[in-house]
Structure 1
């Protein structure tokens, strides 16, 4: 399979997703719409991934790329293409499905526990730890099933149309290198009870290792929708 990836900055890349795609024999192309690159043709790929990016309040109101991205997402939704969103990407997909996107009560950064929802369709443990970096959240779209939630953010993701469309607020793709790049170049999320210090985020590299099988299970389940 060939996948199109939409990236929104040099420090919010695909991280472990790129390695997983390569290891599974899939090819991918990364597009940077925010730098003026032309959007991909969905017909030239088998699936679309919209990576993390800026919060709503940090978007340039005069930028044209968000409209281009919204059009691509709508095309994928209507054209039966597998679609995955992470962070910013998940918010854009939720919005396209009619769900509300807003600033959360609490920002989250670092490692937090997610409890799987009773009706979750995801092949994931009932409780697992994931990496977080967000201030904005989304509501559950109509006809979608929830992933589950953390203490600060009860809606950490959703599945729509039989797992063909997936949105994740949390980051199963995080690696020590990707988190270090974010910490080195992105502004802090502020203050709050669910924000971790840099040392706590990076102290135990085994946490990142434990994300790998979770990402594998999720991506395998998601791309299986393309073979139906």
Structure 2
């Protein structure tokens, strides 16, 4: 299977998603449309699409952001598996015609999320995830609410056994968290989670996050 990854900033890579791809013997291609003239894969090159986070908004008018949504729409029409994290989840919701706006709370740091759906078997009822956002998506009518947090209800959705969008991050491993924080630690300012960059770096990454990330990817590809 060819897995195409859309990465939107240098310090937010695929993390454990890459491990999942390697363990399954898949081919992973990483695109950087924000940097390389908007280069994107085509739909016929894509067996699975991963859309990662980034500092931009789906409401921005960059041509590559609009072209990403054209790709997402084609893949939705073809029932291709899609996973989106943060900006990626917002792009999916925006493609489906739903609003992306300011969250009632800026969340930056580690905080619990709570399972709201039984659509995916055997997921824990509560997990601690990395949050790095101040915008939010509307839950598409076609989808089911998957996760909520204490500060924000719309933290995740699942749709048609093929699409998952999460506002937060399960994918970062220790090196990934370090890369995020050393480059973007100032973003913690104004977060209602009130965690410093050092707090975030020192928090032990829950081992179950990698396991759940694998479960989510297995679910949309089986």
Give the aligned partner of residue 30 of structure 1: 30
Deviations 1:90-111 (A, max 9, x none): 0010111122211101111121
Q: What's the offset of the Cα at 1:72?
A: 0.7
Task: Tell me, in whole angstroms, the C-alpha distance in 2 between the residues paired with 1:54 and 1:113.
Answer: 22
Task: Tell me, in whole angstroms, the C-alpha distance in 2 between the residues paired with 1:158 and 1:58.
Answer: 20
Q: What's the offset of the Cα at 1:8?
A: 0.7
Q: Let me know the Cα RMSD of the aligned residues.
A: 1.8
Q: What's the offset of the Cα at 1:67?
A: 1.4
Unaligned ranges ≥5, structure 2 = none
Task: Tell me, in whole angstroms, the C-alpha distance in 1 between the residues paired with 2:203 and 2:196.
Answer: 13
Q: What's the offset of the Cα at 1:182?
A: 1.4
What's the TM-score, normalizing by structure 2? Answer: 0.92
Residues 59 and 100 of structure 2 are in contact (CA less than 8 Å); yes or no, is this contact kept in structure 1?
A: no
Instruction: Report how many aligned residue pairs link the two structures.
Output: 219
Confirm or deny that 1:201 pairs with 2:192. Answer: no
> Runs in 1 of length 4+ with deviation above 6 angstroms?
none
Residues 15 and 173 of structure 1 are in contact (CA less than 8 Å); yes or no, is this contact kept in structure 2?
A: yes
How does 1:2-151 map onto structure 2 within 5 Å?
2-35=2-35, 36-56=37-57, 59=60, 61=61, 63-117=62-116, 119-123=117-121, 124-151=123-150
Deviations 1:199-225 (A, max 9, x none): 2222243x242311111111111211x
Give the aligned partner of residue 155 of structure 1: 154
Residues 148 and 156 of structure 1 are in contact (CA less than 8 Å); yes or no, is this contact kept in structure 2?
A: yes
Deviations 1:173-211 (A, max 9, x none): 011211111112224143132242122222243x24231
Unaligned ranges ≥5, structure 1 = none
Task: Tell me, in whole angstroms, the C-alpha distance in 1 between the residues paired with 2:143 and 2:65.
Answer: 23
Q: What's the offset of the Cα at 1:37?
A: 4.7
